[in-house]
């Protein structure tokens, strides 16, 4: 058995309860931006502003564009949910189609490599286009928006990770518990420390919690990736007994490891002994999400993982 075969078996292990590897964590995918035939290329601030001044886009378009920019990468279903109180699902889709034509947003075509007939078609991910990035930076200069050129480096694995984390983000927002959310937040006082994937301040019955979110992907050496981060944060935490972040209110820190399957969560607990770290660690499991965000968490203890209902996260209809 050669090295590549061993690697492939390791990447495809720790599947869901039904034995499958969830799509947004699958290591064998391909993806690319899929532009429409009537694509119009706008690359400057002046050209982007002209779209607004000439009323080719309106304030609702800017609202949708900002939601996408804040999410960095979200699929069409998530964008519809983010804006469910502002516009219908069909209206979101129509505006996204317009965004693609005007280089405001890009739609990604992501499929499994061995799915020749494209039997699995997930909701299409969207990212900011060149014109969309220019427009948002003009209207909201104090905010961070990812440069579209960065996707050349982040690739399809980056698309998968952001879509997966946006499922957690969207679910928390639907529960109306999120006070603030920031991707790649900087740890206060330790500018060179590795930044978590995202940080969220969440209201709870016991006060403000700071979710320090990290997402792993089967396509990476995720054990080394997590071990390095957790050990570095352990050193910082032991110095101050806290993990604080710039431009965010201080809450009780909880590291949330967002993983695709319960089997993968068990593997992390076995290899890293998550219960031994000085800060609290929870795992949010994708395959439990259909049951509700409040039932998606497991807590590591010395005797293994314990699934726990966090009822304060329950969606308020």
Q: The CATH number of the domain where 132 resides is what? A: 1.10.10.10
Show which of 105, 134, 163 is a domain's final residue. 163
Contact 150, 129 (CB under 8 A): no
Residue located via tokens 């930044």: 195
Q: Which helix (H) or strand (E) holds 74?
A: strand 73-75
For 53, 57, 59, 67, 245, the CA distances from 96, given in Å and listed in that order, are 19, 11, 14, 12, 33
pLDDT recorded at residue 316: 75
Residue 231 lies in a domain: yes
Strand partners, 125: 75
pLDDT band at residue 217 using 50, 70 and 90 as cut-offs: very high
pLDDT recorded at residue 12: 52
Q: What is the rounded average pLDDT of the residues 220-239?
A: 96
Q: Do 34 and 129 lie in a common domain?
A: yes
Q: Which two tokens stand for residue 56?
A: 């080719």
Residue 105 lies in a domain: yes
Q: Is the pLDDT of residue 272 over 70?
A: yes
The DSSP output letter for 53 is H
State the Cα angle at 41 between 35 and 43, rounded to 5°: 125
Q: Is the pLDDT of residue 55 over 50?
A: yes
pLDDT band at residue 15 using 50, 70 and 90 as cut-offs: low
Q: Do 43 and 101 lie in a common domain?
A: yes
Contact 151, 12 (CB under 8 A): no
pLDDT recorded at residue 7: 40
Q: What is the rounded average pLDDT of the residues 82-97?
A: 97
Q: Decide: pTM greater than 0.75.
A: yes
pLDDT recorded at residue 315: 87
Q: Within 10 Å of residue 184's Cβ, how many Cβ atoms? A: 12
pLDDT band at residue 6 using 50, 70 and 90 as cut-offs: very low
Q: Is the pLDDT of residue 2 over 80?
A: no
Q: Which two tokens stand for residue 302?
A: 């010395």
Widest Cα–Cα separation across the chain: 64
Mapping DSSP to helix (H, G, I), strand (E, B) and coil, where does residue 19 land? coil
pLDDT recorded at residue 4: 34
Q: Is the pLDDT of residue 16 over 70?
A: no
Q: Is the pLDDT of residue 86 over 90?
A: yes
Q: Do 28 and 137 lie in a common domain?
A: yes
Q: Do 235 and 306 lie in a common domain?
A: yes
Q: Do 43 and 142 lie in a common domain?
A: yes
- Dihedral sign from CA coordinates of 172, 174, 175, 178: positive
Backbone angles phi, psi at 201, to 5 degrees: -95, 125
Note every long-range contact of 93-97, with CB atoms under 8 Å and residues 24 or more positions apart, other chains counting.
95/60, 95/61, 95/64, 96/64, 96/126, 97/36
Q: What is the rounded average pLDDT of the residues 261-279?
A: 97
In whole angstroms, give the CA distance from residue 69 to residue 79: 11
Q: What is the mean pLDDT of the chain?
A: 93
Q: Which of 283, 221, 218 is closest to 257 using CA atoms? A: 283
What's the structural domain count of the chain?
2
Show which of 163, 193, 211 is a domain's final residue. 163
> What residues make up the domain containing 48?
19-163
Q: Do 159 and 23 lie in a common domain?
A: yes
Q: Is the pLDDT of residue 100 over 50?
A: yes
Instruction: Kindly state the percentage of the chain with pLDDT values over 90.
Output: 91
């Amino acid at each position: 058995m050669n090295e590549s075969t061993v690697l492939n078996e390791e990447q495809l292990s720790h599947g869901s309860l039904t034995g499958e590897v969830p799509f947004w964590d699958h290591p064998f995918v391909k993806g690319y931006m899929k532009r429409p035939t009537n694509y119009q290329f706008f690359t400057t601030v002046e050209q982007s502003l002209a779209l607004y001044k000439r009323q080719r886009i309106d304030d609702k378009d800017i609202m949708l564009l900002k939601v996408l920019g804040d999410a960095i990468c979200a699929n069409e279903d998530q964008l519809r949910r983010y804006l469910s109180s502002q516009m219908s699902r069909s209206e979101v889709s129509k505006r996204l189609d317009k965004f693609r034509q005007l280089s405001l947003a890009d739609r990604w075509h992501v499929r499994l490599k061995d799915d020749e007939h494209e039997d699995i078609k997930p909701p299409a991910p969207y990212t900011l286009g060149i014109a969309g990035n220019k427009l948002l930076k003009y209207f909201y200069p104090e905010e961070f928006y990812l440069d579209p050129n960065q996707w050349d480096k982040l690739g399809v694995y980056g698309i998968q990770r952001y879509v997966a984390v946006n499922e957690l983000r969207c679910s928390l927002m639907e529960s109306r518990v999120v006070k603030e959310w920031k991707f790649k937040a900087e740890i206060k006082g330790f500018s060179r420390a590795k930044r978590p994937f995202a940080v969220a301040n969440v209201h709870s019955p016991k006060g403000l919690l700071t979710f320090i979110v990290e997402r792993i992907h089967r396509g990476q050496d995720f054990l080394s990736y997590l071990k390095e981060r957790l050990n570095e944060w352990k050193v910082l935490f032991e110095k101050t007994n806290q993990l604080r972040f710039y431009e965010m209110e201080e809450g009780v820190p909880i590291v949330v490891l967002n993983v695709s399957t319960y089997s993968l969560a068990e593997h992390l607990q076995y290899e890293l002994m998550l219960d031994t770290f000085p800060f609290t660690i929870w795992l949010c499991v994708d395959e439990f999400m259909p049951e509700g965000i409040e039932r998606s968490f497991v807590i590591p203890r010395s005797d293994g993982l314990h699934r726990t209902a966090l009822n304060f996260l329950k969606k308020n209809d």
